[in-house]
Structures are given as C-alpha cells and as structure tokens.
C-alpha cells in the first residue's frame, strides 16, 4: 500500500480520492473569511454592534474589500444583516468562530507554554493555522496540552526533562533532511 502523504489523502473508505489541498481552495474557510467572522464577533463583544465600516477598520482594509467579502458571507449564510445594516453572525457563523478561536488558543498555548516559543511567534503561528486544523486535531491537542500542563507528576517530570533537553540538544539542526529516518535511528 502506498504511504499516506499530502498528495494521496483520501476522505474516507467510501469516498472518491480528494486532494485535501485543493479542497481548501474551494470550500473551506479561508484565512480572510476567518478574520472577517472573528472581527464581527469581537466588535459585538466590544461595541455591541458591527457594521461593514467597523469590520473594515478592525481589519485595516478598505470598506470596499470588507463589503465584498461580507456579501459573500451573507450569501453563504454565515453572516446576517438587519434592515439598519447591522451585521451579526448566524448560528453557523458563530460555530465557526468558536472553533477558530478555540484552535487559535490551544495552538498558542502549546507553542508558547509547552514548546517554549516566544509569545509573538506563538501568536503568529497560531493565527496561521487556526482556520486549517480540523476540529478533531484541535480537540486532541487540547487534551494533550491540558494533560501536559496539569499537576500530574508524570507530566511535570516529563516537561521538566523535555525543557532541559530543549536548551542543550544540539545533536541535529533544523531542517532535518529525513524526519522519518531520525525517528528510526533513535528507536534502535
Ligand atoms: Zn489568523
């Protein structure tokens, strides 16, 4: 059987071969969409309302550009606009925002508090993947991080040891040419 790779991921046993990277282009939430939706959410929290101009200002883009994206989001049923031109998230839109924010938070925590990347780098990388990770991956990562940062003595010991190695490990340098081989060598 061919090795599973980015090029040949299948959606499931009964489904046609689907190229995941192409699918993202067509029907998944783009990064721009993710930020338009979260901007509406944050404006509602901060101001109690969100208009096209507020979204544009929050995202530092032109009103025309925000308007175009928001129109498409209304057509997709993710955003609704009342007769006074006030925007809000539909139930589906809200669900997507909750999922994006949860993934952003858990990835940020993992990168910053477990892998010890600085706050800025953790925030930037969390922002980049927030809309791409599946809910399953976000959920499992949360379990993992939650356990690692708990009071469990095994977790505490593990992290202490890992962090001490993180400071001194100079055996290999990124980027590693063959990651699979690195693991194979070490498991011998
Ligand atoms: Zn982002």
Supply the DSSP string of the chain, one letter for each residue.
-PPP-TTT-BS-TTSPB--HHHHHHHTS--HHHHHHHHHHHHHHHHTS---HHHHHHHHT--HHHHHHHHHHHHHTTSEEE-TT--EEE-HHHHHHHHHHHHHHHHHHHIIIIIS---HHHHHHHHHHHTTTS-HHHHHHHHHHHHHHTSS-HHHHHHHHHHHHHHHH--SS-SSPS-HHHHHHHHT-
pTM: 0.83
pLDDT of residue 3: 67
CA of 31 to the centre of ligand 1 (A): 6
46-93 residue pLDDT tens: 999 999 999 999 999 999 999 999 999 999 999 999 999 999 999 999
pLDDT of residue 94: 96
CATH number at residue 56: 1.10.10.10
Q: Tell me: pLDDT of 13 over 90.
A: no
Do 77 and 127 lie in a common domain? Answer: no
Give the chain's domain count: 2
Q: Does a structural domain hold residue 105?
A: yes
Q: Does a structural domain hold residue 184?
A: no
CA of 2 to the centre of ligand 1 (A): 34
CA of 92 to the centre of ligand 1 (A): 19
Q: Which residue has better confidence, 28 or 79?
A: 79
Do 67 and 115 lie in a common domain? Answer: no
């Amino acid at each position: 059987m061919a090795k599973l790779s980015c090029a040949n991921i299948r959606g499931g046993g009964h489904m046609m071969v689907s190229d995941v990277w192409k699918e993202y282009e067509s029907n998944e939430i783009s990064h721009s969409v993710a930020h338009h939706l979260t901007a509406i959410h944050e404006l509602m929290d901060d101001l109690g309302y969100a208009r096209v101009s507020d979204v544009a200002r929050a995202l530092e883009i032109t009103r025309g550009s925000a308007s175009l994206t928001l129109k498409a989001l209304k057509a997709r049923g993710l955003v609704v606009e009342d007769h006074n031109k006030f925007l809000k998230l539909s139930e589906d839109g809200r669900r997507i925002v909750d999922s994006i924010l949860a993934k952003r938070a858990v990835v940020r925590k993992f990168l910053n508090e477990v892998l010890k990347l600085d706050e800025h780098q953790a925030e930037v990388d969390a922002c980049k993947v927030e809309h791409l990770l599946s809910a399953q991956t976000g959920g499992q990562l949360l379990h993992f991080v939650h356990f690692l940062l708990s009071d469990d003595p095994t977790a505490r010991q593990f992290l202490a040891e890992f962090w001490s190695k993180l400071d001194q490990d100079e055996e290999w340098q990124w980027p590693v040419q063959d990651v699979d081989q690195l693991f194979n060598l070490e498991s011998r």
